[in-house]
Amino acid sequence: MIIIRKIYKNISKIYSRFLDCISHYEVNNYRETLNSYLNNNKNISEDWNNIRGDYEKIGNDIRKAIKNYDE
């Protein structure tokens, strides 16, 4: 989930360069949608939080394994 959030933040940075081509209403609508998605962490179901926690643990284990392999 963290990776997805970072991707959406990068998309919003790139998209902000092209805002001049889009009407003011569409820009505000897009920003509200993006902000509601990024700030929706409190409303995510408990199951999804467990899944996200499992992926974070797996990611940490992979990083540790790579670090130990390099040493």
Alpha-carbon span 4 to 17, nearest angstrom = 21
Judge if pTM exceeds 0.85. no
Q: How confident is the model at residue 47 (pLDDT cuts 50, 70, 90)?
A: low
Average pLDDT over residues 38-62: 67
State the total domains in the chain. Answer: 1
pLDDT tens profile 5-46: 777 666 776 666 666 566 666 667 777 776 666 666 555 666
Residue 42 domain boundaries: 1-70
Confirm if 1 and 52 have CB atoms less than 8 A apart.
yes
- Dig out the tokens for 56 from the structure: 């974070």
- Separation in Å, CA 43 to CA 1, 2, 46, 48: 14, 16, 9, 10
